[in-house]
Amino acid sequence: MSTLVELQQRLGYHFRDESLLRLALTHPSVAHENAVASPHNQRLEFLGDSLLGLVLSHALYQKTPGADEGALTQSRAKLVNARSLSGHGRALDLGSHLILSRGEEHTGGRERPSALADAFEALLGAVFLDGGFEAARAVILREFSLKIGESDGMTGIENPKGELQELLQSRSPHAPEYQLVGVSGAAHAQDFECAVLHGGVELARGRGKSKKIAESEAAVAALQKLRGPSGSQL
């Protein structure tokens, strides 16, 4: 495994117990490959996911005092969806540091979005155990500062599914339909992908930590597409 010094520099946090960092980078495939039980990063991922939700919820609450619960939920969902989290993992170059089974290595596990997203959340959990809540909070706010700054624009669509239905039914008698097209990830941290269709034609797709969030993300993407320069007709 390559040196972890540069990773800690990019993260802006240096571990006192580097074994926690290594655990955060250990993919569950390692346990499946070994004959005996072997520790991996899923427990840390669970912890990091909870920390992320708390810190970002508080930041959005302070940033957007006029936003209601629905708008805050949508804003948070955009920050913590699978695409966003894998992007943070990729920016930190977590892929080059992952500890994988041989099979996962040979099938492109270092670049797998779900592996990068899970390792990023596990890394946050490891920071919390190593340095406490304030250390983890500081890392999260540094990582998400720009996106939190854009949150005013993110709360513009408070009820994307309702707005999409209203828009589509103003143009035709058909209501949008949502289909679950994929589920990935561990049982406690699944990533859902949903498509929204109209008249049998797929308009867009969305991802999220729940089917409801994935459907809302799909609706947001469809609204952006339909309201864009070329979206004036169905």
Determine the Cα angle at 114 with ends 37 and 1, to 5°: 60
Which of the following is catalytic: 45, 49, 104, 215?
Answer: 49
Phi and psi, residue 197, nearest 5° = -120, 155
The label of the residue with tokens 């957007």 reads 64
To the query of whether residue 121 is one of the catalytic residues in this protein, the response is: yes
The DSSP 8-state label assigned to residue 13 in this structure reads -
Residue 208 and residue 216: Cα distance in Å, rounded?
9
The label of the residue with tokens 């999409």 reads 164
Which of the following is catalytic: 45, 104, 121, 193?
Answer: 121
Tokens coding 155:
């709360």
Bridge partners, residue 188, by sequence: none
Q: Tell me how far apart the terminal alpha carbons of the chain are, to the nearest angstrom.
A: 52
Determine which helix (DSSP H) or strand (DSSP E) holds 132, and give its type and residue range: none
Cα diameter, the chain? 62
Residue 53 and residue 68: Cα distance in Å, rounded?
17
Helix 82-91, helix 69-80: angle, nearest 10 = 40
To the query of whether residue 152 is one of the catalytic residues in this protein, the response is: no
Q: Which residues are catalytic?
A: 49, 121
